[in-house]
Amino acid sequence: MNEEFNDMNNKSSEPGGGGNPRQNNNSNGKKSNKGPGMILIIILATALTLGAIAMVNSLITGATYKQTPYNEFYEHLKNDEVDTVTYKDDRIQYTLKKETESELPTIQHTYYTGMIGDTDLVPMMKRKGVTINGYIPNSGSSVVNFIFVWVLPLVIMYIFMMVFFRRIGKGGGIMGIGKSNAKIYEQKDTGVTFKDVAGQDEAKESLVEVVDFLHNPKKYTAIGAKLPKGALLVGPPGTGKTLIAKAVAGEAGVPFFSLAGSDFVEMFVGVGASRVRDLFSEAQKQAPAIIFIDEIDAIGKSRDTRFGGNDEREQTLNQLLSEMDGFDSSKGVFILAATNRPEVLDKALLRPGRLDRRIIVDKPDLKGRVEVLKVHAKNVRMDDTVDLEEIALATSGAVGSDLANMINEAAIAAVKSGRQAVSQADLWEAVEVVIAGKEKKDRILSVEEKKTVAYHEVGHALVTAVMKNSEPVQKITIVPRTMGTLGYVMQVPEEEKYLMNKDEMLTRLTTLLAGRAAEEIVFGKITTGAANDIEQATKLARAMVTQYGMSEEFGLMGLETIESEYLDGRAVRNCSDETETIIDNEIKNMLKGCYARAKELLAKNREALDGIAGYLFEKETITGKEFMSILSQYRPIPEENIIDEQPQEAE
């Protein structure tokens, strides 16, 4: 319920003002011929092969086979019409005299019927003068028959398919599977420059010299300098990696080849490598140019065979490494790649001479967030109440895509309200929509539930107000939201911080647990409403013990490491099971101490807790100013007058 704006990095759009560039598939603008063509060709080849098998078999044997009932065979025998009979496995094969003695060029039929234990059959055939044969396999003719009937057609089909796939593997053929499907953006189409990229000054500075080299290569080659082969853009999703790559091409005024790492990989082995060759060939023809490979981890993962490899991906990676070594950087072909997972990339891809530089495109700081908001707000009509710095301060941890979404949500809210300009209230509502979702108007709480939520949220806010090292309250609400919250307290820091000390983190833990403490003090029972608070508090306490060295038991030991830093930031334990048990006890004692601290603070300020909760129950939403005004009427007892020392972990 006590929400915090920390990890808002799960959006996919990029910051900046660039529109959707007009794009052409490949350099010649031809349409890809993908579709049912491959399936039709395979079906045709299979049908031709089966037809060839039947034809060869017919030519070799010179006859066709026809099954008949035993009665029909017996009638032919009685009427003296049977010429020869051959016993073969479980059947009787026979020919008729009228077909054998015919002078017309007709196909001779060999009839067959099932074997039946008829003891009168052989004596009758002897009386009729029928030639009786037993089947003796002829090894020579069987081998020839096998070769012509089965081996030869399959070899023909194999050769046909090899020729077909080799053609498409070289980029030709019907569908052009081996052709690179990189999109080319011309400068006039892209319309993106460094002015459209906000909040990433360090990343832009790292690429300015690349742009200068593409503009003035002779200035560098005259002194013997070479353009770096490439650069790797690393950062969380939504921070603007793709936009920065487009801006580099837009500033330099050169062709921009853009594609994702997954575009190289197909079901056919060798196609990815062929596409890499085609991509670099096209780029060098149009040099100076920029090749941008988004999500390069799709093909650039470390070649680790311990758990099985992927031949197609590894062939594609090997070809990419080979091409990066082979092309002449003095011609002005520069490679930009982007990823959220640099730790999984192959070391050979990151060595000097390939992706020479690593450029961090991280979440923007306060100044950067203000700049990003201004970029996205430049085409949106704002009224005089708008203060973008206040919004930027409240959105610590937001990436460019989150901020762009907020501006858009605010504009939509203004239109819905029938106003001609966006107000600060619209922006605050947009921030809440991104944090907690839209108001869930169809969820009606009972009186008891509503009262419980009110006390819970006021518990958070009251502890925040009476403690040191806490962030001011901006808003308290008990209106349910679509992201599952029944209410929340919005806190806005007075200034942006990059470090937190132990006292501040213990204060944060106490604030998180104050909602549950208020429930227990007032109602004598607890509810499920504190689930998110407990999850956040446990995660923070674990980090204090295992990563930040804030535990008396372990001191400065690092007991966990972070994987996927730019995605989920998953922590991986690097200690024994016995140590993990001690860690759990440390976390439990730390949370117990902070919970006891919250209960004591609320108990000493019970009158203020009841008064503010009653007001919130009636109004449902109150501002931070209203909260502080009501609190001042009750003469709150600050923390230093209740507890002399910071609470330590409970024993």
* 520: enclosing H helix or E strand: helix 502-523
As a whole number of angstroms, the distance between CA 619 and CA 462 comes to 17
Q: Rg of the chain over CA atoms, in angstroms? A: 39
- Report d(CA 150, CA 357) in Å as an integer: 58
C-alpha dihedral sign at 249, 253, 254, 257: positive
Specify the DSSP class assigned to residue 651. Answer: -
The label of the residue with tokens 């319309």 reads 191
User: For residue 608, which of 625, 628, 631, 627 has the smallest C-alpha distance?
Assistant: 631
Q: Give the separation between CA 143 and CA 152, rounded to whole angstroms.
A: 12
Q: How is residue 101 written in tokens?
A: 């003695």
Q: Given its phi and psi angles, is residue 613 left (phi above 0), alpha (psi -120 to 50 degrees) or beta? A: alpha
Instruction: Write out the H or E segment, with its range, that includes residue 234.
Output: strand 230-234
Q: Given the residues 371, 457, 519, 639, select the one marked as catalytic.
A: 457
Calculate the CA 320 to chain-centre distance. 22
Helix (H) and strand (E) counts in the chain? 24, 17
Nearest to 56 by CA among 136, 159, 151, 157: 151
**Cα torsion angle, 437, 438, 441, 442, sign:** negative
Four-point Cα dihedral 395, 399, 405, 411, nearest 10? 50
> CB-based contacts of 120: which residues, under 8 Å, 6+ apart?
none
- 237: DSSP letter: T
Cα gap 338→358, rounded to integer Å: 10
Q: Are strands 473-477 and 488-491 parallel, antiparallel or unpaired?
A: antiparallel
- The Cα–Cα gap between 89 and 86 comes to 10
The answer to whether 438 and 432 are in contact (CB under 8 A) is no
Structure tokens at 289: 């140019």
Sign of CA dihedral 18, 24, 26, 27: negative
> Taking a C-beta distance cutoff of 8 angstroms, is the pair 342, 299 a contact?
no
Task: Specify which residues 407 forms β-bridges with.
Answer: none
**Integer Cα distance of 494 and 491 in angstroms:** 10
The number of angstroms, rounded, from the C-alpha of 539 to the middle of its chain's C-alpha atoms is 25
- 457 close to 515: Cβ distance less than 8 angstroms: yes
Any catalytic annotation for residue 457?
A: yes
> CA torsion sign, 449 to 451 to 456 to 458?
positive
- Residues that are catalytic: 457
